[in-house]
């Protein structure tokens, strides 16, 4: 019997960066490496960069018994074929991830949309171990979502359930890359927050850093009025989304993940005010919480996809919770 630690190779392809690492069956990140994208607009560059990082990570992972690989993508994934159908990074289309992982690394690979994978991670290792009906929202470079209903990940008739970033927020509002006006993502994702901050009189950092969620949070904590107003609006946008989801699906919990969840304290009040203005029922047991899985939650999600795909037992911490049906 091997004395190596069993682990999944996990790959999180994010909008502004990606993370590659090893995660054990209890959801513990054993090792990881993070890189910013060199050129996220070019598919060949995107593929070359993350494939190179995977090779580097595998070279450091000889002490692990790798059970499978899992990948999460900010877009559509065909989980049956193991193919990235489409994603914004480089405009990648129909990329046969499972086939290439098997050929290049000798590993069985499983993939899913990032928000859906994060919802699975919350179910097994996070805030929803005791919850059968919840929504996961990722708020970062983009806005995504996923639903677990009656203890099962809900994919929808065509596998596209949870695309909440494309819900409409403002009539004749900001255009997205597809020409649609006023979608939630154009206001509540980090790019939309940056635009709101500057429109409210905020200033870009003198040292050339980008105006992103972390910078706006830093300014808000320093009392910058434009930054505080930006987070006030962020809470309203997300609160309205959550209220409508609850009115439709009668959810028990909502988990917010992604980089913007790290500043939850800055928009919690406005989110809760909006939520309870628009939510039809007020339930004492209902809650909205930031993810407890931290910045590497999507990496844990990728590993969860791998373990479930290969049928490897998962070790759920704390509450025995429930099993996927």
pLDDT tens digits, 262-287:
999 999 999 999 999 999 888 889 99
> Cα-flanking dihedrals φ and ψ of residue 110, to 5°?
-130, 145
Could you tell me the domains of the chain? 5-118+295-310 (3.30.420.40), 130-292 (3.30.420.40)
SS3 154: strand
pLDDT for res 319? 42
Token pair 């070790």 is at which residue? 315
Could you read off the pLDDT of 175-184 as tens digits, one per residue?
988 889 999 9
The Cα–Cα gap between 295 and 52 comes to 22
The number of beta carbons lying within 10 Å of the beta carbon of residue 227 is 24
Could you read off the pLDDT of 116-134 as tens digits, one per residue?
999 999 999 999 999 999 9
pLDDT for res 283? 85
Give the chain's mean pLDDT: 93
Statement: residue 322 has pLDDT above 50? no
pTM of the prediction?
A: 0.92
Buried-state track 200-216, b at ≥16 Cβ within 10 A, e below 16: bebeeeeeeeebbbebb
Lowest mean pLDDT among 220-229, 234-243, 264-273, 309-318: 309-318
The Cα–Cα gap between 293 and 122 comes to 8
pLDDT for res 239? 97
The Cα–Cα gap between 153 and 37 comes to 30
pLDDT band at 88 (very low <50, low <70, confident <90, very high): confident
Q: What is the mean pLDDT of residues 306-322?
A: 75
pLDDT for res 325? 28
């Amino acid at each position: 019997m091997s004395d190596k630690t069993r682990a999944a190779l996990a790959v999180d392809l994010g909008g502004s960066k990606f993370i590659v690492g090893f995660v054990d069956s209890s959801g513990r990140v054993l090792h990881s490496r993070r890189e910013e994208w060199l050129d996220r607009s070019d598919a060949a560059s995107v593929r070359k960069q993350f494939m190179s990082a995977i090779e580097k990570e595998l070279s450091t992972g000889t002490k692990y018994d790798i059970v499978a690989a899992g990948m999460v993508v900010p877009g559509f994934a065909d989980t049956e074929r193991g193919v990235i159908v489409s994603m914004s990074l480089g405009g990648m289309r129909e990329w046969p991830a499972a086939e290439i992982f098997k050929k290049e690394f000798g590993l069985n690979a499983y993939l899913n949309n990032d928000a859906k994978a994060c919802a699975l991670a919350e179910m097994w290792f996070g805030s929803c171990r005791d919850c059968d009906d919840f929504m996961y929202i990722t708020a970062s470079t983009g806005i995504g979502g996923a639903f677990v209903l009656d203890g099962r990940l809900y994919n929808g008739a065509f596998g596209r359930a949870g695309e909440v970033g494309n819900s409409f927020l403002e009539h004749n509002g900001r255009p997205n890359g597809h020409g649609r006006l006023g979608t939630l993502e154009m206001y509540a994702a980090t790019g939309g927050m940056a635009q709101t901050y500057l429109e409210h009189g905020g200033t870009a950092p003198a040292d050339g850093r980008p105006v992103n969620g972390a910078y706006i949070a830093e300014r808000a904590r320093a009392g910058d009025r434009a930054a505080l107003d930006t987070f006030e609006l962020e809470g309203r946008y997300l609160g309205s989304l959550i209220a409508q989801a609850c009115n439709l699906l009668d959810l028990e919990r909502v988990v917010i993940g992604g980089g913007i969840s790290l500043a939850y304290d800055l928009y919690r009040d406005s989110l809760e005010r909006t939520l309870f203005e628009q939510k039809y029922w007020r339930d004492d047991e209902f809650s909205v919480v930031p993810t407890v899985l931290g910045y590497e939650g999507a990496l844990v999600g990728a590993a969860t996809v791998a373990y479930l795909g290969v049928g490897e037992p998962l070790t759920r911490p704390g509450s025995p919770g429930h099993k996927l049906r």
